[in-house]
Chains A and B, each alone.
Chain A
């Protein structure tokens, strides 16, 4: 039986599944329910500075986009950081940590970008006995208008500065949570590292308007006829998050910097993918907000079964295995030739592969063979693009198969050797030896 336990920044967790800083981790009641359900850790909902509590809107806070059957694919929110008093949060964190010593509690913090503010709060957090802190440099709405959250995360110099203060006034691990609302995520990651961060976590939510109410022409969620951009999360953001994780994992300047992966993790498989890209653990929010805390049981069982099947005994065994395989386009092997293959036994004859290829791609799939409705790949036209695989409603019905010998499309012999764009004759900057 695979061992799912992790030691991330020296913090032991029974499994790699943590709840991200968000409404599910707002108070002791929720957090203890999460621990009872089996979550390995939580990042407590972001604490603000001492003073009058944060004020939230009193109208709707969430908006969503849906897949078939109203399956929630993307969620956005305009909720702010915790609106409970700092004192109560710190007290509950202390008590819960005492009651659940084998689980992880990380305190998420967002206070003004002034050293005094951080100096004031950090000792109080340290006193709770929680395992570490996460700096909320990502929240893209509301708080960012006040110079906090994403407003800090979008300026690498600020990230480094605040991280340095934290390392100065706090003795346990410091995780910097990054915003995706930036052109190149490597810069804030490098700044975090330069500031002494023990890890980065990403992504925070993405600026978004999920829909417009066409009756009153206002963004959803609508507050008295107006809407503000929210922070977008859920399954829809996973590809964006994974790319950013990979960018940091394979950046020589940040290589080896521990990463806590966040963004659209919905099942064990999503978690395994993030870990394979170099994450030491993962944080989940939307899936729990959609289905409740019990989903962690599926995540634990799925990851465990898969690891057993593959022979991985610990999370470390497959952590980062995909990182070296993320490369630049120019390094891809242009002599790797594939053709789509349709399994006629699995085909349900919906014709979507045909029409997608016919209308929008390479006219490489029939819809009629010998007068019968039949979908077959025309190898002479197929460029192996994979669109048909992606539009087919049946899993594994269409596969991409590598071919060798003569490519029927080009009538040319396929060179069995690796060759990429860097040496391609059509490349005006071609070199003689491949770049990789």
Chain B
């Protein structure tokens, strides 16, 4: 590649025919048919003290729900799932099951082919959501207690639902116009098709007793102090903010983009062809966001998409399955490369990136001095999200590792305030972990309110 190539930029909307957008962004895995589900459910051994159940952050009784499917009772199976994880439908779609339940399935041990737990979970929850005449859980008698939940993402929704079940009245404050958090704004589009995130929010809310106020952001519109005064308890599940910066010159130039922002636009648009995408795309990072932006730009019609990650393959936060998913979509993953300089033209537009080779010695990662230049119309930053904590620290909430410090049952250092999800320390940045955080905190809040 000659330096001259770097002068030409090719960012366009509408790279594909309309039908290709539709096909590209259809369900990654088609839902199991009844026959497929029955055949797959028959493979489960109904293990005792099942490893899959232990591996599930929400401790879903997987052998039981699979046996219920096998016995022709998908609604019962769904209730078993939802009892532990009210967002079981979304988790069935987005959980990295290959590193959770399916990784430890004894069928994986026996024959390298785990039971398709995630897809069976989707089968059951989809069945219930499509057929149930009413919400599967009933609210306890009203306690008259009021709880404020900040953030309508997985943690907040989970917490609110569990609190509502116990008879408390919940008000959710959500900064954005739509609920769902990353389920609505962040997850790769092909994992949650046909507006599932909103359907699931409606399903969660159908228990009753939960009011959502949109356009109400913590800091700008409401304060922790205010909520503590007006409510009997507060749960904070605000997630994370923008992507970390690369710390390079030209980061504000046209073409250097925040992967999280771009994915949010992609998730919210009604017209995928309106999204500008480059011919050559470079993604910096090694986690799920890096994979998601890489695959989706490829699906939008980018010709060459390269993920550059500063460590080796085994260091990537994205699971091997996700890495391979990217590769089978034609994404090139290059390891041991860190960004050194953004290359821009004289109109301050990104035309490429210079990457430096890295090496690990004595647990220390450092550049080798050798570099490589890649042509890039767009450079996406996917190197982890920042957490804007100033509002919380000002309210007197302690942090740990730059996120909210909580106890095992979700209590923050401030009385009457709980927290969970990606914004808390030790968070795994998984939907399912957030759901568990919300559930655990709700039980703790319930115990506090009924003490």
Say which size band chain A's interface belongs to: 10 to 19
Contacts of B107 in A (CB 8 A): 348
Task: Name the residue on B nearest A391 (C-beta).
Answer: B45
With A373-B49, A373-B51 already in contact, the answer to whether A348 and B110 are too (CB < 8 A) is yes
User: For the complex, is B42 an interface residue (Cβ under 8 Å from A)?
Assistant: yes
Contacts of B50 in A (CB 8 A): 351
Interface pair A349/B38, CB less than 8 Å apart: no
With A69-B39, A69-B42, A70-B38 already in contact, the answer to whether A367 and B110 are too (CB < 8 A) is no
1/0 per position for B92-112, CB-CB distance to A under 8 A?
000000000000001101100
Chain B: residues with Cβ within 8 Å of the partner, total of 15
Interface pair A367/B49, CB less than 8 Å apart: yes
1/0 per position for B47-70, CB-CB distance to A under 8 A?
111110000000000000000000
Residues 101-131 of B contacting A (Cβ, < 8 Å): 106-107, 109-110
Residues 304-350 of A contacting B (Cβ, < 8 Å): 348-350
Interface pair A394/B110, CB less than 8 Å apart: yes
Task: Name the residue on B nearest A346 (C-beta).
Answer: B110
User: For the complex, is B46 an interface residue (Cβ under 8 Å from A)?
Assistant: yes
Contacts of B109 in A (CB 8 A): 348-349
In the bound complex, how far is the Cα of B49 from the Cα of A354, in angstroms? 10
In the bound complex, how far is the Cα of B52 from the Cα of A373, in angstroms? 13
Contacts of A355 in B (CB 8 A): 48-49
User: For the complex, is A225 an interface residue (Cβ under 8 Å from B)?
Assistant: no
Interface pair B48/A350, CB less than 8 Å apart: yes
With A68-B42, A69-B39, A69-B42 already in contact, the answer to whether A351 and B49 are too (CB < 8 A) is yes
Interface pair B110/A351, CB less than 8 Å apart: no
In this complex, the member of B48, B50, B109 whose beta carbon has the largest number of chain A beta carbons within 10 angstroms is B48
Interface pair B42/A351, CB less than 8 Å apart: no
Residues 6-51 of B contacting A (Cβ, < 8 Å): 38-39, 42-43, 45-51
Interface pair A367/B48, CB less than 8 Å apart: yes
User: For the complex, is A352 an interface residue (Cβ under 8 Å from B)?
Assistant: yes
In the bound complex, how far is the Cα of B48 from the Cα of A373, in angstroms? 11
Min CB–CB distance B32 → chain A (angstroms): 14
Interface pair A350/B38, CB less than 8 Å apart: no
In the bound complex, how far is the Cα of B67 from the Cα of A68, in angstroms? 11
User: For the complex, is A408 an interface residue (Cβ under 8 Å from B)?
Assistant: no
In the bound complex, how far is the Cα of B110 from the Cα of A350, in angstroms? 10
Task: Name the residue on B nearest A71 (C-beta).
Answer: B42
In the bound complex, how far is the Cα of B50 from the Cα of A367, in angstroms? 11
Residues 389-403 of A contacting B (Cβ, < 8 Å): 393-394
Task: Name the residue on B nearest A375 (C-beta).
Answer: B48
Q: Which of A69, A70, A349, A367 contacts B106 (CB 8 A)?
A: A349
Interface pair A354/B110, CB less than 8 Å apart: no
In this complex, the member of A350, A355, A367 whose beta carbon has the largest number of chain B beta carbons within 10 angstroms is A350
In the bound complex, how far is the Cα of B104 from the Cα of A351, in angstroms? 13
Interface pair A352/B48, CB less than 8 Å apart: yes
In the bound complex, how far is the Cα of B68 from the Cα of A360, in angstroms? 22
Contacts of B49 in A (CB 8 A): 351, 354-355, 367, 373
Interface pair B45/A393, CB less than 8 Å apart: yes
In the bound complex, how far is the Cα of B178 from the Cα of A314, in angstroms? 79
Min CB–CB distance A374 → chain B (angstroms): 11
Contacts of A68 in B (CB 8 A): 42-43
Interface residues of A (CB under 8 A from B): 68-70, 348-352, 354-355, 367, 373, 393-394
Q: List 24 A-B contacts (CB under 8 A).
A: A68-B42, A69-B42, A70-B38, A70-B39, A348-B106, A348-B107, A348-B109, A348-B110, A349-B51, A349-B106, A349-B109, A350-B45, A350-B47, A350-B106, A351-B48, A351-B49, A352-B45, A352-B48, A354-B49, A355-B48, A355-B49, A367-B48, A373-B51, A394-B110
**Which 3 pairs from chain A and chain B are nearest by CB?**
A351-B48, A355-B48, A68-B42
